[in-house]
């Protein structure tokens, strides 16, 4: 889109992540903040529409190829619904077949679901990009008439509203109660140009395997630990902060941890211990700097905590490392 990728990565903090890691996951709250920074760098109008138009099915990895090999447009949409949790937890799409009068064509609706914790943090452009990307991929795969009948958006009518009808290729209504797509069931039932039943079945098995691996690897306790690591920035790390980054309430988070046999403070102590030991081995920052970085109000509190975790003070631990290095 012509945006300086280095400036964008540095401001969002994405430069610190290994973006080539296919298993990398970030919180939906953080993702929405990154999206807003992208809008800031955009030089044109209607960022969400233009962003959505840049999406291609192959950008979704194996699941993207799964969609391209489906028999029909509806099959592809249903496959997306089935595996969408692999892409995020803040926004979801629900597909419903509407009851239509006998003399009118059958309609399928796609309604956007937004996580309650994200309600006030999802910019309208994010929803628009999601819808446009979905429909753009559908058109590329079908190579036929536009399946969209009507689009309803919660956002108010923008100044350049004609761009919306041009991009979606159908009437667009604003200031509606929900974000919703109305699609022709007849056109969705048309076979895709790239349909491949044998390959589709193989990719379905692979996609199911990926979801199972994600479920195992990203169980709830590990997700909490992951958020704790990302919150090592000098500010206090408490249940409210971690729960907010996970888009759930503090009470729900602690209940889920209890079900896994864990406690919040136990996990936080483990994360802090691992971080402190790593930094002491690297000798890159002072012990006092570590204390403040880990969210302790005083270095003395950190020293007492570290001794409770390891049986040694940070200074004693660092000296023991020096002794081990000597021949």
Determine whether 123 is exposed, middle or buried from the number of CB atoms within 10 Å of its CB (0-12, 13-18, 19+). Answer: middle
Predicted confidence (pLDDT) at residue 42 exceeds the cutoff of 50: yes
- Residue 25 is encoded by which pair of tokens? 């996951």
Q: Note whether residue 20 is domain-resident.
A: no
Name which residue leads in pLDDT, 217 or 226: 226
φ, ψ dihedrals at 173, nearest 5°: -105, 135
Q: Note whether residue 110 is domain-resident.
A: yes
Spatial CA neighbour of 132 closest among 177, 169, 91: 169
pTM comes to 0.62
- If asked whether residues 88 and 198 sit together in one domain, one would say yes
- If asked whether residues 208 and 59 sit together in one domain, one would say yes
Q: Are 79 and 195 in contact (CB under 8 A)?
A: no
Give the per-residue pLDDT at 105: 65
Give the per-residue pLDDT at 322: 64
- If asked whether residues 247 and 172 sit together in one domain, one would say no
Q: Note whether residue 56 is domain-resident.
A: yes
Predicted confidence (pLDDT) at residue 218 exceeds the cutoff of 60: no
- If asked whether residues 248 and 210 sit together in one domain, one would say no
Q: Note whether residue 70 is domain-resident.
A: yes
Q: Note whether residue 195 is domain-resident.
A: yes
- If asked whether residues 177 and 250 sit together in one domain, one would say no
- Residue 45 is encoded by which pair of tokens? 């109008």
Predicted confidence (pLDDT) at residue 90 exceeds the cutoff of 70: no
Domain final residue pick, 180, 195, 216: 216
For 142, the domain range is 45-216
**Measured on CA atoms in the order 60, 180, 33, 219, is the torsion positive or negative?**
negative
- If asked whether residues 120 and 146 sit together in one domain, one would say yes
Q: Are 194 and 125 in contact (CB under 8 A)?
A: no
What is the count of structural domains for the chain? 2
As a whole number of angstroms, the distance between CA 61 and CA 285 comes to 39
Rounded to an integer, the average pLDDT of 148-176 is 90
Rounded to an integer, the average pLDDT of 303-321 is 86
Give the per-residue pLDDT at 309: 87
Among all chains, which residue has been given the structure tokens 């699609």? 183
- If asked whether residues 201 and 74 sit together in one domain, one would say yes
Q: Note whether residue 284 is domain-resident.
A: yes
Q: Per residue in 274-304, pLDDT tens?
A: 888 877 877 667 888 888 888 888 889 999 9
Domain final residue pick, 158, 189, 216: 216
Q: Please list, in sequence order, all residues whose beta carbon lies within 8 angstroms of the beta carbon of residue 34, skipping any fewer than 6 positions away.
A: 12, 14, 26
Predicted confidence (pLDDT) at residue 324 exceeds the cutoff of 50: no
Q: Report percent pLDDT > 90 for the chain.
A: 9
Q: Lowest mean pLDDT: which of 79-93, 155-169, 193-207, 224-238? A: 79-93
Residue 142's alpha-carbon distances to 50, 188, 195, in angstroms, are 21, 9, 10
Domain final residue pick, 194, 216, 238: 216
Rounded to an integer, the average pLDDT of 215-225 is 73
Q: What's the whole-number average pLDDT of the chain?
A: 82
Name which residue leads in pLDDT, 8 or 63: 8
Overall residue count recorded for the chain in this entry:
327
- If asked whether residues 184 and 84 sit together in one domain, one would say yes
CATH number for the domain spanning 249: value is 1.10.10.60
Q: Per residue in 95-133, pLDDT tens?
A: 877 666 655 567 888 887 776 666 677 778 888 888 888
- If asked whether residues 165 and 253 sit together in one domain, one would say no
- If asked whether residues 121 and 208 sit together in one domain, one would say yes
Give the per-residue pLDDT at 22: 64
Predicted confidence (pLDDT) at residue 175 exceeds the cutoff of 90: yes
As a whole number of angstroms, the distance between CA 304 and CA 310 comes to 10
Q: Note whether residue 176 is domain-resident.
A: yes
- If asked whether residues 63 and 175 sit together in one domain, one would say yes
- If asked whether residues 240 and 308 sit together in one domain, one would say yes
Q: Report percent pLDDT > 70 for the chain.
A: 87
Q: Note whether residue 202 is domain-resident.
A: yes
């Amino acid at each position: 889109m012509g945006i300086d990728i280095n400036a964008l990565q540095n401001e969002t903090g994405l430069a610190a992540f290994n973006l080539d890691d296919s298993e990398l996951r970030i919180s939906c709250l953080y993702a929405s903040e990154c999206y807003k920074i992208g809008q800031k760098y955009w030089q044109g109008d209607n960022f969400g529409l233009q962003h959505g138009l840049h999406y291609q099915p192959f950008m979704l990895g194996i699941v993207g190829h799964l969609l391209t090999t489906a028999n029909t447009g509806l099959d592809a949409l249903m496959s997306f619904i089935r595996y969408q949790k692999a892409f995020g937890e803040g926004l979801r799409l629900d597909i419903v077949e509407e009851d239509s009068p006998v003399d009118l064509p059958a309609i399928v609706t796609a309604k956007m679901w937004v996580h309650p914790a994200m309600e006030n943090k999802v910019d309208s452009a994010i929803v628009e990009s999601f819808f446009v990307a979905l429909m753009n991929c559908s058109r590329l795969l079908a190579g036929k008439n536009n399946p969209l009948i009507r689009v309803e958006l919660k956002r108010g009518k923008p100044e350049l509203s004609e761009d919306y009808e041009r991009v979606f290729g159908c009437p667009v209504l604003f200031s509606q109660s929900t974000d919703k797509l109305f699609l022709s069931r007849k056109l969705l039932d048309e076979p895709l140009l790239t349909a491949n039943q044998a390959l589709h079945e193989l990719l379905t098995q692979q996609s199911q395997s990926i979801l199972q691996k994600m479920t195992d690897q990203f169980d709830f306790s590990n997700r909490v630990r992951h958020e704790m690591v990302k919150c090592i920035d000098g500010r206090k790390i408490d249940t409210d902060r971690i729960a907010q980054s996970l888009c759930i309430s503090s009470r729900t988070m602690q209940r889920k941890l209890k079900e896994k046999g864990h406690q919040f403070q136990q996990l936080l102590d483990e994360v802090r211990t691992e971080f402190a030991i790593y930094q002491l081995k690297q000798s890159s920052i002072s012990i006092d700097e570590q204390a403040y970085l880990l969210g302790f109000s005083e270095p003395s509190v950190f020293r007492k905590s570290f001794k409770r975790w390891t049986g040694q003070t940070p200074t004693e631990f660092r000296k023991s490392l020096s002794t081990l290095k000597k021949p």
